[in-house]
């Protein structure tokens, strides 16, 4: 089954990059060709994804490992992004 790539919210991507920069978090924008819930959610609301790095690039596998510091960066970015969005509403 082929599902075309889903464009994510440019505004949320920009907002998250600005938050990461302001918080001195290392980040990079990337393209994800994988299927995610965001493919469905983006049809009803602006959507973005936040990824954290896994050691050796292994993900969705029993050997996946992500450093606690990277998990905390992701959680802090998500929490701040949600707070900004809630206060804009």
Q: Residues 4-20: pLDDT tens digits?
A: 778 889 999 999 999 99
pTM of this prediction exceeds 0.85: yes
Q: Residues 2-60: pLDDT tens digits?
A: 767 788 899 999 999 999 999 999 999 988 766 678 888 888 999 999 999 999 999 88
Classify burial at 73, counting beta carbons within 10 Å of its beta carbon; exposed 0-12, middle 13-18, buried 19 or more.
buried
What are phi and psi for residue 17, nearest 5 degrees?
A: -65, -40
Structure tokens at 25: 């978090």
d(CA 48, CA 10) in angstroms, rounded, equals 8
């Amino acid at each position: 089954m082929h599902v075309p790539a889903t464009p994510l919210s440019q505004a949320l991507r920009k907002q998250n990059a600005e938050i990461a920069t302001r918080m001195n978090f290392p980040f990079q924008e990337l393209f994800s060709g994988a299927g995610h819930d965001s493919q469905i959610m983006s049809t009803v609301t602006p959507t973005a994804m936040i990824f954290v790095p896994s050691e050796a690039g292994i993900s969705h596998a029993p050997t996946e490992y992500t450093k606690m510091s990277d998990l905390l960066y992701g959680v802090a970015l998500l929490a701040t992004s949600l707070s900004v969005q809630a206060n804009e509403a």
